């Protein structure tokens, strides 16, 4: 049967509109985007998704505004590409802002398109990935574009903890455009992207300060200082590859477990060098990532926020092919002491793992919370409480390994049975005490040292006595606080077996609307 003329005409119209949609803001704008070293929204999606898997929704939607010349800027799709696709065979909902259309500015139509896939993703239990490249609220649409943000934010929040949400920042992300990413689980910044609430022009007008967009909110700022970004890459291509990798550690939704990949690393592999990892010097630093790299499946460690609060290490890895979340103190940065930023970093990650059924494995080597007015004035009590809250609240399997210092709050917060830790191992080098030797002796024996015939000698004696008593794991093991003192090289097989036991763990928290996390 041949097509009649009318059908043919209809198809021609559709095809022409689709061709226009693919061109976004036009070839000239696409060329400009390329000249800036950036890909278009569609090129990005093509890299992110399995070939041929993308099905677009709302490709032809356009706005209906005419103020400030907007009628001359009606483009099919309205500056955003949305739909569903697959990553390594797993379904994902995606949106990609198109900077070639009015700077990717956020419009009512954009909001409707994003909201639509957010709704479908939430109902079907599918992760949402947003590729952001936007100048913020579309100025010409006034309050309509501001209100439109609210539609997306509320869906971000309702989906939080139900389906993974990942934001990839691939250009400017200004004004309201930063808040949807900030509400999601992960922010990945690629290339010369930047995030800021108020742009350089506004800052200049209001304060007179001159600052570039990158200095204001580039990846160095957000992956290193502010903690807004969780990962950063030099290029867009790397950012998209990292997104796929990150997704592989996560389940599709909170009712599923993360996928197990076929394990290749033998579960009984023991690394003899781990027995020499802890230096002889009590305060000599070592890199906890050496332990992590050795214990978990080969090359499986994906560190999150490596440059923010480096005194704590967090990330995903695999153990016998199963996804696990790792929290560790980092003795080679600030002696691994906990501070405000490390508390925020750790607490948020624990809650993320708990929400998505990822067991948590904690390596403890921490002299305690960082002392001083800077931390106290900044609210280290409030922030440190987040770690305690998060560990107590988490019902996923939790295993701790005390490698060296577990002093005071660090022991209680990061490894203690009382806070519902399931299994605690200690290496023979563990030191479990209320505080370090110097501080303890000063508090307890100030008078005795002062009145001794040789104060320095007496202090040394008391220090030695304190270390002898507390700087080992056996006291804690005697009273059942440590389940087993193990050789460091045994850590991998012991962890695999402990996790095997805990895999079916069921623990419930009391029913409530929600707790009051000390945010
Ligand atoms: C409408 C916009 C726009 C916007 C950019 N454009 N931002 N159009 N609304 N918000 C348009 C520009 O006019 C320009 O159009 C095109 O997009 C490309 O922008 P350029 O400025 O040429 O690009 P570039 O030099 O790369 O600078 C990008 C930028 C800058 C850093 C994003 O455009 C900028 O500072 N925009 C404003 C950012 C901002 O302050 N947004 C906050 C909005 S208020 P032509 O046709 O000239 O090429 C907000 C509050 C919401 O979002 C709060 C919710 C909680």
Distance from the CA of 103 to the center of ligand 1, in angstroms?
6
From 144, 143, 139, select the one nearest 109 (Cα to Cα). 144
How close is the Cα of 105 to the center of ligand 1, in Å?
Answer: 6
Domains of the chain: 12-247 (3.90.226.10), 272-430+472-502 (3.90.226.10), 436-470 (no CATH)
Which of ligand 1's atoms lies nearest the C-alpha of 172? 32
Question: Which residue is closest in CA terms to ligand 1's atom 18?
Answer: 103
pLDDT, average across residues 65-82: 90
Q: Say how many Å lie between the CA of residue 83 and the centre of ligand 1.
A: 25
Segment 95-134, tens digit of pLDDT: 999 999 999 999 999 999 999 999 999 999 999 999 999 9
Distance CA 380, CA 192 (A): 33
pLDDT tens figures, 298-351: 999 999 999 999 999 999 999 999 999 999 999 999 999 999 999 999 999 999
In this predicted model, what pLDDT tens digit does every residue of 400-456 receive, in sequence order? 999 999 988 888 888 788 889 999 999 999 998 888 888 899 999 999 999 999 999
pLDDT tier for residue 141 given thresholds of 50, 70 and 90: very high
Query: Structure pTM?
Result: 0.95
Secondary structure of residue 57 in the 3-state scheme: strand
- What SS3 class is residue 83? strand
Residue 365 to residue 387: CA distance in whole angstroms:
15
Mean pLDDT of the chain: 95
The per-residue pLDDT for 491 is 98
pLDDT at 2 over 80: no
Q: What is the pLDDT of residues 454-464, one digit of tens each?
A: 999 999 999 99
Any catalytic annotation for residue 125?
no
pLDDT at residue number 198: 87
CA distances, 318 to each of 78, 168, 245, 259 (Å)? 41, 24, 12, 11
Q: Is the pLDDT of residue 147 over 80?
A: yes
- What is the 295 CA–ligand 1 centroid distance (Å)? 48
Q: Which of 248, 391, 271 is nearest to 318 (CA)?
A: 248
**What's the rounded Cα separation, in Å, for the pair 135 and 102?**
8
| Residues in the ligand 1 pocket, defined by CB under 6 Å | 102-103, 105, 135-139, 146, 149, 172, 174-176, 179, 199, 201-202, 213
Which of 136, 182, 210 has most ligand 1 atoms within 8 Å of its beta carbon, as the pocket-test mutant?
136
pLDDT at 1: 60
Ligand 1 atom nearest to 179, measured from its CA: 55
Q: What is the mean pLDDT of residues 15-21?
A: 92
Q: Counting Cβ atoms within 10 Å, is residue 443 exposed (0-12), middle (13-18) or buried (19+)?
A: exposed
Pocket test for ligand 1, best of 36, 78, 133, 135 (most atoms within 8 A of CB): 135
Q: What is the position in ligand 1's atom list of the atom closest to the CA of 138?
A: 9
Is 175 part of the annotated catalytic residue set? yes
- What separation in Å is there between the alpha carbon of 104 and the centre of ligand 1? 8
- Tens digits of residue pLDDT in 156-176: 999 999 999 999 999 999 988
Which pLDDT value is given to residue 202? 87
């Amino acid at each position: 049967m041949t097509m009649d003329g009318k059908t043919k005409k209809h198809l021609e119209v559709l095809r022409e509109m689709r061709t226009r949609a693919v061109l976004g803001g036009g070839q000239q704008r696409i060329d400009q985007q390329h000249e800036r070293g950036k890909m278009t929204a569609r090129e990005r999606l093509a890299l992110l998704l399995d070939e041929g898997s993308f099905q677009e929704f709302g490709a032809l939607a356009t706005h209906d505004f005419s103020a400030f010349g907007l009628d001359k800027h009606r483009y099919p799709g309205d500056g955003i590409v949305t739909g569903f696709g697959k990553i390594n065979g797993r379904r994902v909902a995606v949106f990609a802002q198109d900077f070639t259309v009015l700077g990717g500015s956020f419009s009512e139509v954009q909001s409707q398109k994003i909201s639509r896939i957010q709704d479908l993703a939430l109902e079907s239990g599918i992760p949402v990935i947003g590729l952001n490249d936007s100048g913020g609220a579309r100025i010409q649409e006034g309050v309509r574009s501001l209100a439109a943000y609210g539609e997306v934010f509320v869906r971000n929040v309702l989906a939080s903890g139900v389906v993974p949400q990942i934001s990839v920042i691939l250009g400017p992300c200004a004004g309201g455009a930063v808040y949807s990413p900030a509400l999601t689980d992960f922010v990945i910044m690629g290339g010369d992207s930047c995030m800021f609430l108020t742009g350089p022009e506004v800052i200049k007008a209001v304060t007179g300060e001159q600052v570039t967009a990158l200095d204001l909110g580039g990846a160095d700022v957000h992956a290193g200082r502010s903690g807004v970004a969780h990962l950063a890459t030099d290029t867009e291509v790397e950012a998209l590859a990292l997104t796929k990798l990150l997704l592989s550690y996560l389940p599709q939704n909170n009712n599923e477990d993360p996928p197990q990949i076929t394990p290749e690393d033998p579960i009984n592999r023991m690394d003899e060098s781990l027995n020499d990892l802890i230096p002889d010097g009590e305060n000599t630093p070592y890199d906890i990532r050496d332990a992590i790299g050795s214990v978990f499946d080969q090359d499986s460690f994906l560190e999150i926020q490596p440059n923010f609060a480096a005194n704590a290490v967090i990330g995903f890895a695999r153990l016998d092919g199963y996804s696990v979340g790792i929290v560790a103190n980092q003795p080679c940065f600030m002696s691994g002491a906990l501070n405000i930023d490390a508390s925020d970093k750790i607490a948020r990650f624990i809650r993320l793992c708990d929400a998505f059924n990822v067991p948590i494995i904690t390596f403890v080597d921490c002299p305690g919370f960082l002392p001083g007015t800077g931390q106290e004035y900044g609210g280290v009590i409030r922030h440190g409480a987040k770690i305690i809250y998060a560990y107590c609240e988490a019902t996923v399997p939790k295993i701790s390994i005390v490698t060296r210092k577990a002093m005071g709050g660090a022991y209680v917060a990061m490894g203690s049975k009382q806070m519902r830790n399931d299994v605690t191992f200690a290496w023979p080098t563990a030191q479990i005490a209320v505080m370090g030797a110097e501080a303890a002796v000063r508090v307890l024996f100030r008078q005795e040292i002062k009145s001794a015939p040789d104060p320095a000698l007496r202090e040394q004696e008391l220090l030695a006595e304190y270390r002898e008593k507390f700087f080992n794991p056996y006291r804690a093991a005697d009273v059942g606080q440590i389940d087993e003192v193990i050789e460091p090289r045994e850590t991998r097989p012991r962890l695999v077996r402990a996790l095997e036991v805990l895999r079916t763990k069921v623990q419930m928290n009391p029913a409530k609307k929600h707790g009051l996390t000390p945010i």
